Homo-oligomer: A and B are copies of this chain.
Amino acid sequence: MSSSLNHPPTIADVAYKAGVSIATVSRVLTGSCPVLPETAESVRAAIAELKYVPRAAARVLASHRTNTIGLLMPDIGGAFFTPMLRGVEAGAREEGFDLLIHTTQSKPFDNLQRKPLGEHNTDGLLVLRDSIDEEEIRRLYAAGFPLVLIYDSPPENVGIPFVEIENKSSTQKLVEHLIDIHARKRIVFLGGPTGADPREEGYREALQGRDIPIDSSLMIKGEIDENPAARAIHHWLMGKTEFDAVFTGDDQVASGVLHALQEAGKRVPEDVSVVGFNDAPFSQYLIPPLTTIHVPDEQVGLEAVRQLTLLIRNGHADDKVLLPAELVIRQSCGCQPEHPHTFPPQLQSRS
């Protein structure tokens, strides 16, 4: 049998078996041109019989499309990571793209080295905040390479689509909750990581809308860590700075604040309300359980892929996509539990 091969079948084997040219096989594969139904059928039969799978590299080389998107991250980790990756993976499959992933890991993105991800092996890139520096982003953008930013907005004058959550309105709602429901008036603002400006806006508008004066001595902006936050709290308590609530840009920071307050003999939430951001897995176990904001990470990943494929296929996408985030009211703000605390926690099992 001439078609019994000891090497993986190629398009030529299929063509031979189906009695057509390789061009015709290619057409039924890509669906690019009409093919007579009966011809197509015999080609499909040959493909099935030979268990033919087109070599990806050959298609890429000939078609100038890699059919692959890349995901560039600063590292693998963080509570948001798993759901976001799930969204990205689902989106990529949905859109028929392969997914190549790489971390940049604090090494400066070296142009001279062979780059792990770029024009040479992907059709477009999903770029997480802090993966690569502004210069590299500008370079890729200038080269016309499809890019979508995640949890970050692009540098000035750079029209790269990005996917973020509604930082401003969710912060505003949460701060308004503290004011309206718990009668808080001296609310500390402990910024959060980069890109937190919209949160500051939300904070300001919440206060302004309630005629509460903004006291900038209560605000620490920009990147903040768990320990500095705790130190700041201590410092204020020593200095008799008065406050009755703390808004925090990250649950991790909130847990540090909780700790510092409790160590100083303050009761949460009776004396001070504390609220976080991101709804980390551990937040429900803090004492008291943390009121925070839940971020739709999976949606973010999915939407980022959608925008990127739009960009790849049509050359343009939405300038920005803002996904709504949801208030998660627990007890650290002062609310009472709706249901008695129950075990076991409903978490995802390992297996």
Copy tally for this chain in the complex stands at 2
How near does chain B come to A84, taking the closest CB pair, in angstroms? 10
B120 and A350 form a contact (CB under 8 A): no
B82 and A86 form a contact (CB under 8 A): no
Mask of A312-351 contacts with B, CB within 8 angstroms, 1/0 = 0000000000000000000000000000001111011111
A120 and B55 form a contact (CB under 8 A): yes
A102 at interface (Cβ–Cβ under 8 A)? Answer: yes
8 Å CB contact of A101 from B101, B280, B282: B101
How near does chain B come to A275, taking the closest CB pair, in angstroms? 15
Chain B residues with Cβ below 8 Å from A243 are none
Interchain CA distance A164-B7 in the complex, whole Å:
33
Within residues 1 to 51 of chain A, which ones have a CB less than 8 A from any CB in chain B?
Answer: 8, 48, 51
Interchain CA distance A8-B85 in the complex, whole Å:
31
B54 and A120 form a contact (CB under 8 A): yes
8 Å CB contact of A262 from B118, B262, B343, B345: B343
B120 and A56 form a contact (CB under 8 A): yes
Interchain CA distance A102-B90 in the complex, whole Å:
9
Chain B residues with Cβ below 8 Å from A194 are 351
Mask of A109-123 contacts with B, CB within 8 angstroms, 1/0 = 001101110111100
How near does chain B come to A232, taking the closest CB pair, in angstroms? 15
A210 at interface (Cβ–Cβ under 8 A)? Answer: no
Within residues 245 to 290 of chain A, which ones have a CB less than 8 A from any CB in chain B?
Answer: 250-253, 255-256, 258-259, 262, 278, 280-282, 285-287
Beyond A76-B86, A250-B351, is A255–B345 a contact (Cβ under 8 Å)? yes
Interchain CA distance A54-B98 in the complex, whole Å:
20
How near does chain B come to A135, taking the closest CB pair, in angstroms? 14
8 Å CB contact of A349 from B89, B250, B262, B344: B250
Chain B residues with Cβ below 8 Å from A80 are 350
A54 and B114 form a contact (CB under 8 A): yes
A101 and B89 form a contact (CB under 8 A): yes
How near does chain B come to A304, taking the closest CB pair, in angstroms? 15
**20 A–B contacts, CB within 8 A, in A order:** A8-B119, A53-B115, A55-B121, A56-B57, A56-B121, A75-B86, A77-B86, A78-B349, A79-B348, A79-B350, A80-B350, A93-B116, A99-B102, A193-B350, A250-B350, A252-B344, A259-B342, A262-B343, A278-B350, A281-B347
With A255-B345, A282-B285 already in contact, 14 other A-B pairs whose C-beta atoms are closer than 8 Å: A48-B112, A53-B120, A55-B61, A56-B121, A57-B121, A61-B61, A80-B350, A89-B103, A99-B101, A192-B351, A194-B351, A255-B343, A281-B347, A282-B282
A-to-B contact residues, CB < 8 Å:
8, 48, 51, 53-58, 60-61, 66, 68, 75-82, 85-86, 89, 93, 98-103, 111-112, 114-116, 118-121, 192-194, 226, 250-253, 255-256, 258-259, 262, 278, 280-282, 285-287, 342-345, 347-351
